[in-house]
């Protein structure tokens, strides 16, 4: 339990704070998983018996499933001391910045398997420039890892690929109008919320792959293991396969977390990058 001093009586007995951070799962875990909102599905997966199967696991997460802050990482470092820690870091940057088609449009080459259709418009932006754009997030991850590795073996877990356009479009249709800010912007553009231009799948995939590369690089630099998202949760285009979507725009579900738990367990036992 967290405690704080009363303002009016610094010498008096501490008053209890509501517990903001909670350890879900095993009381004596071999591995503690934690991170931003993409870590939530791991709580549900464990509660649903979808994983992990061979290790005792705890998930350090906000008790109210809300946002984390600096003190959360203190909690995770303490909870994971002497154990393995799996970090699920951010992973929504591509949606937060570029879910709606940028103006003017741009393209990013997918150096891996992701091809950009020739008919798509926009200038090419170097992948290295996009990576630099997200460098503050990567640097924060790096600093966090440097701290965690002092007392734990640390794994960095890949984050869900972007959803197919049809799924995003479905979310846009009528389900965003409850937000007056989005409604006003759409109105200013003389568009309905459902007509807001979604960035092409190829762009969102390329952006996602840059985020994965950035996390992999930070993991390598800090001496951590990177656990990549396997092809089994991706469709033929490389996007998040429908059975693994949480239904919203950005997150994956417990089935996805079950697959990832298996990847984490395998990495934990082999000691090799997945």
Partner 1 sequence: MTEHPYRSQPARAFWSRSVAKDFAAGAMTVGPEPLLRRGDRVASAGSCFASNMVPWLESSGLLYVRTEDPHPAFAHLPENLGYRSFSAAYGNVYTARHLRQLLERASGDFQPAEDRWHEDEGVIDPFRPGLRYRAGCDEEFDLLTRQHLRATLDAFNEATVLVFTLGLTEGWESTLDGAVYPACPGTVAGEFDPSRHRFHNFSAEEVRADLVEFIRRLRETNPGVRVILTVSPVPLVATATEQHVVVASSYSKAVLRVAAGETAASMPDVSYFPALEIVTGPQAPHDYLAEDRRSVTEAGITEVMQTLIAASDLPEHGAPPAEAQPVGDPERSPQMDLSRRIAEADCDEVLVES
171 counts as binding partner 1 under rule CB under 8 A = yes
Q: Which of 249, 255, 256 is nearest to 166 (CA)?
A: 249
Q: Which two tokens stand for residue 19?
A: 């517990």
232 counts as binding partner 1 under rule CB under 8 A = no
249 counts as binding partner 1 under rule CB under 8 A = yes
103 counts as binding partner 1 under rule CB under 8 A = yes
* Residue choice 185, 192, 228, 266 for contact with partner 1 (CB under 8 A): 185
* Residue choice 127, 147, 151, 169 for contact with partner 1 (CB under 8 A): 127
Task: Report in angstroms how near the CB of residue 106 gets to partner 1 at its nearest.
Answer: 5
On the 0-12 / 13-18 / 19+ scale of CB atoms within 10 A, 113 is exposed
175 counts as binding partner 1 under rule CB under 8 A = yes
Three-class secondary structure of residue 230 per DSSP = coil
Task: Report in angstroms how near the CB of residue 80 gets to partner 1 at its nearest.
Answer: 26
268 counts as binding partner 1 under rule CB under 8 A = no
Angle between helices 135-148 and 201-222 (to 10 degrees): 30
CB 156 within 8 A of CB 248: no
Q: Which two tokens stand for residue 209?
A: 């792959």
Task: Report in angstroms how near the CB of residue 68 gets to partner 1 at its nearest.
Answer: 14
228 counts as binding partner 1 under rule CB under 8 A = no
Q: Which of 1, 180, 215 is nearest to 91 (CA)?
A: 215
266 counts as binding partner 1 under rule CB under 8 A = no
* Residue choice 24, 35, 59, 92 for contact with partner 1 (CB under 8 A): 92
């Amino acid at each position: 339990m967290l405690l704080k001093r009363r303002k009016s009586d610094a010498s008096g007995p501490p008053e209890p704070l509501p517990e903001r951070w909670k350890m879900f799962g095993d009381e004596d875990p071999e591995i503690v998983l934690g991170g931003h909102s993409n870590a939530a599905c791991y709580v549900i997966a464990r509660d649903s018996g979808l994983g992990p199967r061979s290790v005792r696991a705890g998930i350090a997460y906000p008790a109210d499933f809300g946002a984390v802050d600096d003190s959360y990482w203190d909690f995770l470092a303490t909870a994971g001391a002497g154990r393995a820690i799996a970090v699920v870091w951010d992973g929504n940057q591509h949606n937060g910045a570029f879910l709606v088609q940028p103006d003017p449009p741009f393209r990013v080459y997918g150096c891996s398997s992701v091809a950009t259709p020739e008919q798509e418009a926009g200038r090419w932006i170097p992948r290295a420039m996009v990576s630099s754009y997200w460098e503050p997030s990567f640097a924060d991850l790096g600093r966090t890892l440097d701290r965690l590795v002092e007392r734990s073996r640390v794994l960095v877990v890949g984050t869900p690929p972007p959803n197919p356009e049809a799924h995003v479009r479905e979310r846009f249709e009528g389900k965003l109008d409850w937000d007056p800010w989005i409604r006003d912007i759409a109105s200013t553009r003389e568009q309905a919320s459902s007509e807001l231009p979604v960035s092409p799948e190829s762009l969102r995939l390329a952006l996602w792959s840059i985020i994965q590369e950035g996390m992999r690089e930070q993991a390598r630099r800090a001496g951590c293991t990177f656990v990549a998202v396997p092809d089994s949760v991706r469709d033929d285009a490389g996007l998040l396969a429908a059975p693994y979507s949480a239904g919203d725009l950005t997150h994956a579900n417990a089935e996805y977390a079950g697959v990832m738990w298996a990847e984490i367990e395998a990495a934990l036992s082999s000691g090799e990058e997945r």
